[in-house]
């Protein structure tokens, strides 16, 4: 039997991979581009990078539930297409950005689309029974890892053509992705499971309201938020931390991120489904979070380049958390609200992405100014460890509430 139970799954998995490739391509050049456009030193550029991620997150906070509810009303396909086209525009704007302000505009455009993980996650819920959703979300996680293998490595190479070249390549990939989706992506939400769009429901509170009728949602959502808050340390500070601690340039940063992506992709592809089936979603999440927290603390005290690569052999097991937690949450709402749920999760992630870069970037800058640049990773490890403790002590397994059929199992 094919690994993919529905033809839409490989398409959204591929779309997610291309989206992450676009992000990974530009990551190695951002420190240098920010320093050149803003005429800043590296610690100051670190702070600007944090604010740039925060602008993206603020836009996504408001747009995420709207995009999710639009998907519940009009279907997943048009929403995914709109997201991809907006990303193509975003990278085009950033490729031509003459000032830092234009880079911020590009990040705001990207945030307003809500990215693609919300509607892509809703596609997984549409076509998978509840007990198989964690495995489907694991494939989306694998796409993230694969994208980070290809993206940073390609970005390090493309950067030799100029600091703007990675943005151009990312924009072309997003446009190509939209074109492929237009011709081959089927709609996965049938008319029986669509519902009217209501603006009052297109907020984080509206998206999560059905969760609280299922009970036990509050500690799970708090744990998710703490985990996201800590995990932001990677996109917020990795390039800057590696430059400060090891003096790395775009190529070294690219290869290190490629290693992270490779291990995450392997874990999601080969281990996640088996571990969730063996341990259950709750315990798999706890194991993943503890491994992620341990890796963060280890990075704070890394002194050799080989340790960066070795420690992530454990840190990669943190990839269990996203599909396991998403599987738990998706069981708490019915088939008509999967898009709203994913949009709400996206907005909650956005709150973390607003606060996380500020915490991480400021922690890194503060510690670096005092001779210890591992502060951001210590803070991240504490947050993720707290999330694991909450799930271990307060979260029970969720019973599925989705109706029978392909949308709910």
Nearest Cα neighbor of 65 from 197, 228, 222, 190 is: 197
Residue 115 φ then ψ, to 5°: 55, -165
pLDDT of 346 over the 80 cut = no
What whole-number distance in Å separates Cα of residue 318 and Cα of residue 264?
Answer: 8
Q: Which tokens sit at 85? A: 């086209």
What whole-number distance in Å separates Cα of residue 157 and Cα of residue 164?
Answer: 12
- The radius of gyration of the chain's CA atoms, rounded to the nearest angstrom, is 20
**65-106, pLDDT tens digit by residue?**
777 778 888 888 998 898 888 888 888 888 888 888 998 888
User: For residue 335, what is the DSSP state?
Assistant: G
Cβ atoms < 10 Å from Cβ of 343? 34
Cβ atoms < 10 Å from Cβ of 371? 6
What whole-number distance in Å separates Cα of residue 221 and Cα of residue 345?
Answer: 9
Name the percent of the chain lying above pLDDT 90: 10
Name the percent of the chain lying above pLDDT 70: 84
Q: Which pLDDT does position 118 carry in this prediction?
A: 72
Beta carbons of 91 and 174 less than 8 angstroms apart: yes
pLDDT of 7 over the 90 cut = no
Q: Which pLDDT does position 335 carry in this prediction?
A: 63
Specify the higher pLDDT residue, 310 or 23. 310
Q: Which pLDDT does position 344 carry in this prediction?
A: 67
Classify domain 8-185+202-394 at the CATH topology level: Growth Hormone; Chain: A; (1.20.1250)
What whole-number distance in Å separates Cα of residue 96 and Cα of residue 368?
Answer: 32
Q: Which pLDDT does position 247 carry in this prediction?
A: 85
pLDDT band at residue 114 under the 50/70/90 scheme: low
pLDDT of 330 over the 80 cut = no
Cβ atoms < 10 Å from Cβ of 33? 21
Helix axis angle for 321-330 and 217-231, nearest 10°, is: 150
Which residue ranges make up each domain of the chain?
A: 8-185+202-394
**382-404, pLDDT tens digit by residue?**
999 999 999 988 877 554 444 43
CA atoms within a 13 Å half-sphere pointing along the CA-CB vector of 284: 27
0.95 cut: is pTM over it?
no
């Amino acid at each position: 039997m094919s690994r993919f139970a529905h033809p839409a799954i490989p398409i959204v998995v591929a779309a997610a991979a291309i989206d992450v490739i676009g992000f990974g391509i530009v990551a190695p050049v951002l420190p240098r581009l920010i320093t050149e456009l803003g005429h800043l030193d590296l610690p100051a550029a670190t702070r600007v990078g944090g604010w740039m991620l925060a602008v993206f997150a603020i836009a996504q906070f408001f747009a995420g539930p709207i995009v999710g509810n639009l998907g519940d009303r009009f279907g997943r396909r048009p929403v995914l297409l709109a997201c991809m086209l907006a990303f193509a525009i975003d990278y085009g704007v950033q490729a031509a950005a003459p000032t830092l302000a234009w880079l911020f505009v590009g990040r705001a455009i990207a945030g307003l689309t809500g990215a693609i993980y919300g509607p892509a996650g809703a596609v997984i819920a549409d076509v998978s029974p509840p007990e198989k959703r964690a495995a489907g979300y694991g494939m989306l996680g694998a796409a993230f890892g694969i994208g980070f293998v290809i993206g940073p490595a390609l970005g390090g190479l493309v950067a030799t053509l100029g600091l703007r070249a990675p943005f151009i390549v990312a924009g072309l990939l997003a446009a190509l992705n939209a074109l492929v989706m237009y011709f081959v992506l089927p709609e996965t939400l049938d008319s029986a499971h669509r519902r009217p769009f209501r603006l009052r429901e297109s907020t984080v509170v509206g998206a999560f309201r059905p969760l609280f009728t299922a009970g036990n949602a509050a500690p799970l959502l708090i744990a998710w938020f703490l985990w996201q808050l800590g995990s932001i340390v990677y996109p917020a500070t990795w390039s800057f931390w590696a430059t400060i601690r090891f003096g790395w340039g775009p190529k070294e940063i690219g290869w290190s991120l490629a290693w992270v992506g490779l291990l995450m992709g392997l874990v999601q592809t080969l281990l996640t489904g088996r571990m969730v089936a063996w341990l259950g979603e709750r315990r798999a999440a706890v194991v993943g979070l503890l491994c992620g927290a341990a890796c963060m603390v280890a990075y704070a005290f890394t002194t050799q380049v080989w340790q960066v690569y070795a420690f992530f052999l454990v840190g990669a097991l943190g990839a269990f958390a996203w599909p396991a937690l998403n599987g738990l949450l998706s069981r708490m709402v019915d088939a008509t609200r999967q898009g709203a749920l994913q949009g709400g999760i996206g907005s909650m992630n956005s709150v973390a992405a607003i606060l996380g870069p500020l915490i991480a970037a400021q922690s890194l800058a503060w510690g670096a100014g005092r001779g210890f640049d591992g502060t951001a990773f210590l803070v991240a490890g504490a947050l993720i460890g707290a999330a694991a403790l909450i799930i271990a002590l307060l979260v029970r397994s969720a019973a599925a509430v989705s109706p029978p059929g392909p949308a709910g199992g």
